[in-house]
Each structure stands twice: as C-alpha cells, then as structure tokens.
Amino acid sequence: MRYVSTRGQAPVLNFEQAMLSGLARDGGLYLPETVPAFSGLDDLDGLPYAEVAFRVIRPFTGESFTDAELRGAIDRAYARIEHAAKAPLVQLAPGHHLLELFHGPTLAFKDFAMQLIAQLFEIALKRSGQRITIVGATSGDTGSAAIEAFRGIDNVDVFIMFPHGRVSEVQRRQMTTPDAANVHALAVSGHFDDCQARLKDLFNDHGFRDQVGLAGVNSINWARVVAQIVYYFTAAASLGMREMDFCVPTGNFGDIFAGSIARAMGAPIRRLIVATNQNDILHRALGSGEYRIGTVEPSISPSMDIQVSSNFERALYWAYGGDAAAITQLMDELKQGGFTISQGALQALREQYVSGRVAEAETLAMIRTIREETGEALCPHSAVGVAVARQHLEPGVPMVTLATAHPAKFPDAVEQAIGIRPGLPPHMAGLFDLPERVTRVENDIAALKSLILERRTH
Ligand SMILES: Cc1ncc(COP(=O)(O)O)c(C=O)c1O
Ligand SMILES: N[C@@H](CCOP(=O)(O)O)C(=O)O
C-alpha cells in the first residue's frame, strides 16, 4: 500500500513512513493511492472489536507491521477501553442508534485511534532507535487522548497546544495534571485554528522538523483516520449490514472522512451527515460551494469550534479526482480567507456528504429531550449530532449518530441543560485535586520553536 500527498509534491511513502511523517513535506495530507475493498463483510457480526479492527486495518498497513505486531498493538490498545463491546450501539428511538465512543481512558472517541497509534509508534521507534517530538493541536480531546497514550513512552516528547480558556476544565486538567516528564501542555493565545496553523508551520519548516524529529498525532496523520474506520464496520455489523445513515458531529473532518473510507471499502453506508455547531463552515460550504473562514464563535461544544477543517483537504482531493495542483491552489487561496469549490467537485462532495447545523439553544434542548425520552445525558457534541440526525431521519433506514464524548467532560453545558452535573468515572475521580503543569505561550512560531527546543528531554 502506497501513500500519496494531496499536494502531489512529497515522496510516496509506505504506512509506517506516512505514520511517522504526519504532515507531508509539501504541506499536504497523505492518502492511500487506492482504497482496498473489504472482503468478508458478512462475517463480522459477533466478532470481538479487536478482531474487526485487525481485519479492517490490516490492508492499510502493508509490510510495515507483521500480523503478530498489529494484533498485539490492537489487543493492548483496546484492552484500555472499559466497555466489553468497546463501541456499544444503543437504541435512542426506533431506527435511531447512538454509537458510544466514549468508554476509553480519556472519555472521547480519540482514544480509539490514539491508543492504537501509540502502540504502533512504540514498535516502529524501538525498531529504528529514532527519537521523536510529537506536537499536537487540540480543541480539547485530541490533546488529552495523546497525552494519555504517549505519556512515559521512551524516545518521545509530547507537546500539546490548546487554546487558552477555550477548553472545558475537565479537558484542561486531563492535559495539565499528568506528571510524566515527556508531557508538555501549552496554553496558546487564540483559538484551535491558531494552534493547528502553528502546528502546520512547524511541519513546513523542514530544518526545525528534521532537527527535532517532528511527528504529528492529529488526524493529519493517516494512521489516526485508519483506526477510526473500524467502528463504522462494527456498527454496520450490529445492524445486520443493512444500508444505513451515519450522522457525525464534525470539526476537523477526520471522523466523518473515516466514514467515507469505510463506505469506499464496502460498508453499507447510504448518507454521511456532517453535523456542525454554530461554527458551520462545512455546512455552508456544502450548501453554497464557498469555503470562507469566518470568526470562531465559542460554543458549548468547544471541541468543534473549528473553521479551518484540516481533513476537508482529503475530501477535496477526491472530489477533484486526485488533481493535486488544484488542491495546492485552493489551499493557497485558503491562506487569503477562502476559496470557491468548482461545480464538478461540489457535486462530487454532495454525493458523499449531506449536512446540518444546530444553534446553541437547540443543542441544549436536545440534551434535555434525550434525557426525558431515554434517561441518558448526552455530551453537547453528541447532542449536535443527534439534533442534526433528527432533521434527516427517513423511515426504514437506520440512523447511527456517533456519540463522541462522555457528558462528564462538559459538566457545565450538561448541567445548564438538565440541571444535573454528570460525575467523572472512578479512574478520574482525583482529577480536581492534582496540581496542574502548563506553560502559557503566545500564538507565535518563534516562541513555540524555542520552547520546544528548550523543553524536549532529548
Ligand atoms: C467530542 C468531539 N466531537 C466531535 C469532534 C469532531 O471530530 P472531527 O474533528 O474528527 O470532525 C471532536 C474533535 O475532533 C470532538 O472532540
Ligand atoms: N476536536 C479536536 C480537534 C483536533 O482534531 P484531530 O482529529 O485532527 O486531532 C480535538 O479535540 O482536539
């Protein structure tokens, strides 16, 4: 399996190389040259999650890992997810199901990919003896999952940039309380898009990149996306491999893009529905063809407060039929504020995705409604998903909404909606008593570089 960059100017890599590279050297994102068809769809029902993961991921890893290495990594990764089913599917209403992706150690869907790629990184780094510096940008959940997965791993430093004052207190504490020497939480002035832009600046400075052995664990890393494909298959298997719709709370477009890969592999997915909060650039772009960056408005679903949605570049690459020059041009225009999607590409995108957005009041109302109807408390991101899914329900077609985080990560929003403050699970009970370690940094590339050079442990 060979991986190519969306911008067409970076070396073609194998899986391990693409995983260790993160962003391609031409600034693009890696994608497989072809998507493998999945054989054995009808054999998945009843299999353990780890076995489905092995079958789905194996075609992507090629010669990079032996079967035994991959199975071992998967087993260790998913042993850390508490629920027996790992990603249980629960019925919200007849025909509408919630895919619960928050039973991992940091209570968000990010654990599914991050736990696995930490295992794969460890195998690859032990083999090569290489030392790396992971830098991540987060609106809250990627950062906590990365720190949990990579803390204490030899040969790795982890720097996580989060937007100062724009993540929930639980998310912040998950990033600032681990005391491992290789973990560095950085509170950056600005919003998530600033953090992600600085991350890409670091990757695009090849001198710095090579000096520190820069690696990335955001969904710019193809290995993250691969691991997120698996639960589309387990959900489809639980519903008997009938044609179904998926509604995905969306920000950086990684999770829903994993759904398009699942569909391309053969999963019976009819519609993939992009659900956004008031930061609705994706909904607007799919409606009008104009991808224009607006102001990021803080919301009660802060992990989705994103305007520059990184993985949309991968979707565009497909929609433009693999025309890397066209993507490079669009990404240059994006630096000036936005671009117009060609009619042909827009049509191709609309064949892949439909979309909806909900405002804050609707999100709160949906948390209340689901509490009344089922007794469950939804996190605000999952509530955005459920609200948009309800706009798109069709008789006879099962709908699966991805529940991307545990309500206890966002207690203020949940309490505002239903008057009940969800408690943290026992393994996180001491979170509010631990001392925090965090460095305030300006949104400034020179300041970030010197901090990373000064703090890294190797
Ligand atoms: C809880 C939660 N829901 C949804 C999303 C959106 O996922 P994606 O960025 O893959 O679109 C995020 C952030 O990634 C998140 O943390
Ligand atoms: N919502 C995310 C934003 C980064 O997403 P990623 O999937 O690209 O890592 C977060 O919680 O940090």
Task: Reply yes or no on whether 86 is catalytic.
Answer: no
Atom of ligand 1 nearest to the CA of 258: 10
Q: Is there an atom of ligand 1 within 6 Å of 251 CB?
A: yes
Name the strand (E) or helix (H) holding 441.
strand 439-441
Residue to probe by mutation, ligand 1, list 247, 304, 311, 384, most atoms within 8 Å of CB: 304
Residue 407's identity, in one-letter code, is P
pLDDT of residue 378: 98
Is the ipTM, as predicted for this complex, more than 0.90?
yes
Does the pLDDT value for residue 91 go beyond 80? yes
Mean pLDDT over the full length of the chain: 97
Annotated catalytic residue, options 86, 110, 200, 409: 110
Q: Which residues, listed in sequence order, are joined to residue 146 by a DSSP beta bridge?
A: none
What percent of the chain has a predicted confidence (pLDDT) above 90? 98
Q: Which residue has the tokens 């991050």?
A: 114
Residue 217's identity, in one-letter code, is V
CATH architecture of 89-104+225-418: 3-Layer(aba) Sandwich (3.40)
Pairing of strands 269-276, 244-249: parallel
Residue 375 CA to ligand 1 centre (angstroms): 24
Average pLDDT of 251-262? Answer: 98
When comparing pLDDT for 412 and 42, which is higher?
Answer: 412
Domain ranges of the chain: 89-104+225-418
| Phi (first) and psi of residue 3, to 5 degrees | -115, 130
Does the pLDDT value for residue 424 go beyond 80? yes
Question: Is the separation of the CB atoms in 208 and 449 below 8 Å?
Answer: yes
Residue 330 CA to ligand 2 centre (angstroms): 22
Name which residue sits closest to atom 9 of ligand 1, judged by CA. Answer: 252
pLDDT in tens, 192-215: 999 999 999 999 999 999 999 999
pLDDT in tens, 317-375: 999 999 999 999 999 999 999 999 999 999 999 999 999 999 999 999 999 999 999 99
Q: Is there an atom of ligand 2 within 6 Å of 141 CB?
A: yes
pLDDT of residue 40: 87
Distance between CA atoms of residues 347 and 363, nearest Å: 29
pLDDT category, 78, cuts 50, 70, 90?
Answer: very high
pLDDT category, 300, cuts 50, 70, 90?
Answer: very high
Does the pLDDT value for residue 458 go beyond 80? no
Q: Is there an atom of ligand 1 within 6 Å of 303 CB?
A: yes
